[in-house]
Copies of this chain bind each other. A is one copy, B any other.
């Protein structure tokens, strides 16, 4: 494997690296002209369902930015349709679900999904990307975590207060756990299938779990995320476990599992890592809005994060959440250069 391929994977295992690896959540997306050129012709779901398009979009930021990992282009909600959930992406509105799941009967009616059949196009994209990357850059697979998926399914789309989600949780915990159990089995199978198709690491996105306090996390989320993280870890690939607004959830997220825990920008990286303990890696945590700052201020912020990590093995540089649509590409590229310019070890020592 090339140095660039080992750099990210070594960091996932908390092994010394020549310099901190860097990639970005939503590194393929609207902020890139190459991506917009494809999106002008195809819908989001069309890109996700055509392996050659998904592979092309996955590769765009690898070529343009020189990041240390590719992440499969897909949407966390892709597994919902095969379950029987009517999903649409309304223009400018985000996902809209025609038949939100709110009762035990709704949960019971959800179909069991075999990802190798229903999501075969995603697995084919994994294979195409691996072939194209040719050992130069590792590929990360991913899925939404059960809580975050459940929040869309129950609310019927994006949410601000997650009231219907919490209402189901508190009012009918059996239905809640049945829903989370179905999602956990599906997500575990889906991630394992991605690994078998060639993904060299996976990230579990629990993007909205920060709307819960620790007690609710422990009771309603942890067992389901743990099931997934155990099954995926058994494949031997490293697992990144990510959420936002998780300052008070970090010890429980670690308990649920993951080789690397993703931190958002509200959690100072050193504080977060100390809270987690030294036996996991951390990923993060530049504020995506910092990519709109003038270059010297951006550089100061990148440097501050690297200083907080202090060269401890196990840091993967990333944002605290996904790249925003209007982000200047040049600033994203500059961050890669800043991080790579910060060498910890001569390459020969790795």
Taking Cβ atoms with an 8 Å cutoff, the residues of A that contact B are: 161-163, 166-167, 170-171, 210-216, 245, 247-249, 265-268, 271, 287-290, 292-294, 297, 304, 324, 326
Shortest Cβ distance from A158 into chain B, in angstroms?
9
Q: How many copies of this chain does one complex carry? A: 2
Our pick among B170, B245, B294 for the contact of A290 (Cβ within 8 Å) is B170
Q: Say whether A294 contacts B170, CB under 8 Å.
A: yes
> Given the complex of chains A and B, what is the CA–CA distance between A80 and B196 in angstroms?
58
Q: Say whether A292 contacts B166, CB under 8 Å.
A: yes
> Given the complex of chains A and B, what is the CA–CA distance between A116 and B290 in angstroms?
39
- 29 sampled A-B residue pairs with Cβ under 8 A: A161-B288, A161-B324, A162-B289, A163-B292, A163-B324, A163-B326, A166-B289, A166-B293, A167-B289, A170-B289, A170-B293, A170-B294, A170-B297, A171-B294, A171-B297, A210-B245, A210-B266, A212-B266, A213-B266, A213-B268, A213-B287, A215-B268, A215-B304, A245-B266, A247-B266, A248-B266, A248-B267, A248-B271, A249-B266
> Given the complex of chains A and B, what is the CA–CA distance between A166 and B162 in angstroms?
26
Shortest Cβ distance from A261 into chain B, in angstroms?
15
> Given the complex of chains A and B, what is the CA–CA distance between A292 and B166 in angstroms?
8
Q: Say whether B293 contacts A213, CB under 8 Å.
A: no
Shortest Cβ distance from A159 into chain B, in angstroms?
11
A326: chain B residues within 8 A (beta carbon): 163
Shortest Cβ distance from A193 into chain B, in angstroms?
33
A289: chain B residues within 8 A (beta carbon): 161-163, 166-167, 170
A210: chain B residues within 8 A (beta carbon): 245, 266
> Given the complex of chains A and B, what is the CA–CA distance between A215 and B297 in angstroms?
13
Q: Say whether A293 contacts B171, CB under 8 Å.
A: yes
Q: Say whether A214 contacts B268, CB under 8 Å.
A: yes
